[in-house]
């Protein structure tokens, strides 16, 4: 079960992710097998995995947003370069979706919504964040954080698929 995070906790987590320059802190939060595949992979394979995770989260949550689509297209190009303007747009989208999820969570607490509605709203915010992660200059950090956010977006039902994506994109000389 996911826990709602207050605004200050989200801000602190985002600050920690910003300080996590190569993704090591996030890697420690992932399944050890997936984490070891990320660490051993080439930059190209790591970037492909990040994009695959984000695309899966976006598709499964039904997220439709121009900034999200642009970030995935830019990240898929060889030699991704960090786009501060686009990252800012995605952070704005994710923050708005987070706020909407918090509102739904409050409605759940008040008996005006069900928990499934909150999970759906939370998933949209995490899917947007996963797409933004793909723009990170560090392919390793992009892979770790996009994977983490995709799993947060989709919950337990995504673990098997994300593990399969990891084996497919990160191992066996595919990079």
**Of 15-24, 89-98, 117-126, which range is least confident?**
15-24
The 10 Å Cβ neighbour count of residue 167 is: 13
- Residue tagged 């992979």 (tokens): 41
- Global pTM reads 0.84
Backbone angles phi, psi at 72, to 5 degrees: -65, -40
Give pLDDT tens digits for 24-56: 899 999 999 999 999 999 999 999 999 999 999
Give pLDDT tens digits for 54-89: 999 999 999 999 999 988 988 887 656 657 788 889
Do 55 and 130 form a contact (C-beta atoms < 8 A)? no
**Euclidean distance between CA atoms 15 and 13, whole angstroms:** 5
Residue 78's pLDDT is 61
Domain residue ranges of the chain, discontinuous segments joined by +: 29-170
Per cent of the chain over pLDDT 90 is 68
Backbone angles phi, psi at 57, to 5 degrees: -65, -45
Give pLDDT tens digits for 115-124: 999 999 999 9
Which of 63, 49, 14, 36 has its CA nearest to residue 175? 49
Residue 83's pLDDT is 74
Residue 6's pLDDT is 44
Do 57 and 153 form a contact (C-beta atoms < 8 A)? yes
Residue 172's pLDDT is 60
Give pLDDT tens digits for 158-169: 899 999 999 999
Give pLDDT tens digits for 119-146: 999 999 999 999 999 999 899 999 999 9
**Euclidean distance between CA atoms 175 and 66, whole angstroms:** 29
Which of 46, 135, 123 has its CA nearest to residue 90? 135
């Amino acid at each position: 079960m996911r826990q709602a995070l207050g605004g200050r906790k989200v801000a602190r987590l985002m600050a920690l992710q910003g300080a996590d320059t190569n993704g090591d802190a996030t890697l420690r939060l992932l399944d050890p097998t997936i984490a070891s595949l990320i660490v051993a992979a080439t930059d190209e394979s790591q970037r492909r995995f990040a994009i695959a995770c984000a695309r899966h989260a976006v598709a499964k949550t039904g997220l439709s947003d121009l900034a999200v689509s642009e970030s995935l297209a830019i990240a898929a190009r060889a030699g991704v370069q960090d786009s501060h303007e686009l990252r800012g747009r995605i952070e704005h989208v994710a923050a708005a979706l987070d706020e909407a999820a918090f509102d739904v969570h409050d409605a759940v607490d008040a008996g005006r919504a069900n928990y499934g509605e909150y999970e759906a709203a939370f998933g949209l915010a995490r899917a947007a964040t996963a797409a933004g992660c793909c723009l990170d200059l560090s392919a390793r950090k992009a892979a770790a954080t996009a994977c983490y956010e995709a799993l947060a977006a989709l919950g337990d039902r995504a673990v098997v698929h994300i593990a399969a994506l990891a084996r497919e994109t990160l191992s066996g000389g595919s990079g």
